[in-house]
Amino acid sequence: MFNSLSDRLTSTFKNLRGKGRLTEAQIDGTVREIRRALLDADVAVAVVRAFVAQVKERALGEEVSGSLNPGQQIVKIVNEELVGILGGETRRLNLAKTAPTVIMLAGLQGAGKTTLAGKLAKHLKAQGHTPLLVACDLQRPNAVKQLQVNGERAGVPVYAPHPGVSSEFESATGDPVAVARDGVAEAKSKLHDIVIVDTAGRLGIDTEMMQQAADIRAAVNPDEVLFVIDAMIGQDAVNTAQAFNEGVGVTGVVLTKLDGDARGGAALSVASVTGKPVMYASTGENLDDFEIFHPDRMASRILDMGDVLTLIEQAEANWDKGEAERMAKKFADREDFTLDDFLAQMAQIRKMGSMKKILGMMPGSQISRQQLEQFDESQMDRIEAIVRSMTQHERVAPKIINGSRRARIAKGSGVHVSEVNSMLERFGEAQKMMKKLASGGAIPGMPGGRGGAKKGAKGGKKKPAKFGNPAKAAQLAAAEANKAKAPSGAAFGAGAKDFDPADLNLPKGFEKFLGK
């Protein structure tokens, strides 16, 4: 969603690197580029003006001029201001003191309210709640059926006493206000602690729509009214959000379709214009593509600084703890990493979502934006097909896979032999890396690791040099003998008994730390 904006801002900040001092002209140029980037991203003009003015004021102040690294300080200022216009702090649901907590969803037709209702219900169920979905959209064809399907997929019951309409040629006959009121009563009788009311939408804002939403609000007195907005609608997001805030009185915002390729200005405008926080974000079509909206993490993503915290939370939620413990034990016991292990680890990663999404959260990634967009998700399916086309013995001992076996595996998985060769080659490199890590070695190309003994050396000891000149050999032997005579425990060949702490001019009382 924010790829274009992220690229523009990252390119702007590159020009500030390595500068010990920034002139007013350089700051003006940077602020001008930030303004253009935000306007191109469809951020509301009023929001852009306020944002740029605040950044410029702080950039021209002592905050930057007195900094050791002015370029990084400006990035810090932009990051903090982005967090501010995105809502400032993470906002959680306000739960009612007496159950059930009533959550009403409002928004235009096509924004994704019904799908979001299922996602929110599944998210709350995973947190230990017992939600009930109430189908009050009786006007859109098959809206009630869609909510029932989403409820079944989420494992959440749906209260739907009226079937709604099945085609656009039918007229709505049910009373959505009565359905909402009866749904809350049903939740109380069945001891559900949360009620999610899915309301009707329109293709545009009209008086009838707002009145129906206001009537439902008055009937059920919701604890939260979440305005669901399509993040791809651009500048019109601000007008729509203001209309719903005035007509219904929203308490929070939910952004849908954040996985789209639009410019994403709605996300940067709605919270600032309405004064209502963005609470959730929908990032895909599956019920699991749903996350709590963290303004600080979203700002980090926009500035291409990654989002490691969200990545960790997704790993904790989706990773099989039993599988993780099994792999940890295997790693500690220095057992071989097999293709079955490789398949299991790949399945765990796929539970976290698409590889594009995971790689996009990695900070400092060497993968360019273009490479990330061109990443082929189906490659994971081909790799899995190749491994599953192998026999159990081949997965444990891939070295036995000769030419004829490779041809059979390629035919069974529907790929070319070259893809099988490439996969086995990459797996061999991964296997070597795992062995090296298990033995306490360093990964090639990674700084800070412990390196092993050099090739050809035994026990890590250097072989004695051989010289054809007897005089030079004798000279080297004499030097080694003199080194051996030096007293042990001395840094430069001087005996420890010659050391006197008084010679160091240390502070008074410091000698007690020297053992004297």
Feature table: binding site: 107-114, 198-202, 256-259
Report the distance separating Cα 292 and Cα 23, nearest Å: 40
Please list, residue by residue across 234-251, b when 16 or more beta carbons sit within 10 angstroms of its beta carbon and e when fewer do: beebbebbebbbebbebb
Tally of CB atoms within 10 A around 207: 8
Give the start-end residues of each E strand in 22-137.
Answer: 101-106, 131-135
Tell the burial category of 509 from Cβ atoms under 10 Å away from its Cβ (0-12, 13-18, 19+).
Answer: exposed
- Which helix (H) or strand (E) segment is 278 a member of? strand 278-282
| The one-letter amino acid at 35 | R
Give residues with Cβ within 8 angstroms of 399, minimum separation 6: none
Tell the burial category of 383 from Cβ atoms under 10 Å away from its Cβ (0-12, 13-18, 19+).
Answer: buried
Q: Characterise 449 by phi-psi region: left (phi > 0), alpha (psi -120 to 50), beta (else).
A: beta
Report the distance separating Cα 211 and Cα 31, nearest Å: 44
Lookup: tokens for 427? 């797996």
Give residues with Cβ within 8 angstroms of 322, minimum separation 6: none
**Known binding-site positions for GTP:** 107-114, 198-202, 256-259
Closest CA to 344 of 326, 370, 371, 365: 326
Query: CA dihedral in degrees (127, 129, 132, 136; nearest 10)?
Result: -60
Report the distance separating Cα 152 and Cα 154, nearest Å: 5
Tally of CB atoms within 10 A around 27: 19
- In the three-class reduction of DSSP (H, G, I as helix; E, B as strand; rest coil), residue 85 is classed as helix
- In the three-class reduction of DSSP (H, G, I as helix; E, B as strand; rest coil), residue 314 is classed as helix
How large is the C-alpha radius of gyration of the chain? Answer: 32
Can you name the residues that pair with 32 across neighbouring β-strands?
none
Report the distance separating Cα 75 and Cα 59, nearest Å: 10
**Look-up: residue for tokens 């085609």?**
167
Report the distance separating Cα 93 and Cα 84, nearest Å: 20
